[in-house]
Amino acid sequence: MRVLAALSGGVDSAVAAARAVDAGHDVVGVHMALSRNRQEYRTGSRGCCSIEDAGDARRAADVLGIPYYVWDLSEKFEQTVVADFLAEYEAGRTPNPCVRCNEHIKFEALLDKGVALGFDAVCTGHYARIELHEDGTRELHRAVDLAKDQSYVLAVMGPDRLARAMFPLGEVASKDDVRAEAAVRGLGVSAKPDSYDICFVADGDTQGFLHEHLGIRPGEVLDTDGNVVGRHEGAYAFTVGQRKGLALGRPAPDGRPRYVLDVQPVTNTVVVGPAELLTVTGIAADQAVWFVSPEPGAWFDCAVQVRAHGAPVPGRATATIDDAGKPSGVVIQLHEGLRGVAPGQSVVLYDGTRVLGQATVGSTTR
């Protein structure tokens, strides 16, 4: 097959590309330039996609002996991932930019462009497994290394794009094994630190980034009785479940910590309260992406995960339909309470290690 290997400049994507070469595929490496101002992604950035990463990706391609290109996807990235990030926070929701990047960049813009150029599949360094059955159907599963599993952020890709994806690292036992393999192959990124945080927030100051782009909007912090207990510079900078950075002027009567319970963008208000009020027992989500064919109205048991590295909890779910009669959302009942679920988060449903579907949290029931 002709395979387009997404080279981020890290060790995972380099080893994944190497394995695709070993499998006999015709591999071409491509690095995605996602920033309009490359100086924003400076040395010391804790995210991915820095200017140094492009050089590391090129050197990895040279070692592997494969062609290498840089594709400028910065405009698409700005219009989809960054714009969505700002709009969601402004609406009082909590987005996951890695989910949006996988949806709109790696498995939409990159894959679609690759297919148009005659490539059969895109290969990435994500930790997830694809199980192929005799009838040709594919399933997305958790990686063998559960500590590195990335099926949560990949669930948004859906079955059609899964059919053109390759995840060569899904079966590896640990990240240490990947680093050791990279060293044996002579890849200079074998000891490169992992990227973390939001790539377009280079200094890790998400609140500062939001203030810079959305402006200062002073408002009140209220307790559950409606008493003013503090002030803020923008309700958009808070998320459900947040404890730090509240700067409350009045302590709780019982002296216990308080958490963000609700963000109300219309009134620019943040509501805080005790931890037990964060527990939700139900979730309604929309924009569903299914890897199975659920029967609307029929309930099924599943495991529910609402954070990239959060622990799944048992529950049951049923698909909801849109005006055209197609599954469009999901209603979830949790067998155990789950804390700090915020509108805008991605919720992924599992059957064991298999991904059943993904949706975006719209509302919760406490």
Q: Which residues have a catalytic role annotated?
A: 101, 199
- CA–CA separation, 366 vs 349, rounded Å? 20
Reduced to 3 states (helix: H, G, I; strand: E, B; else coil), residue 229 is: strand
Residue in this structure with the two tokens 């963008």, named with its chain if needed: 265
Q: Rounded CA gap, 195 and 102, in Å? A: 16
In terms of Cα–Cα distance, which of 25, 10, 240, 220 is closest to 125?
10
> Is 11:57 a contact under the CB 8 Å cutoff?
no
Which letter does DSSP use for residue 301 in this model? E
d(CA 236, CA 335): 31
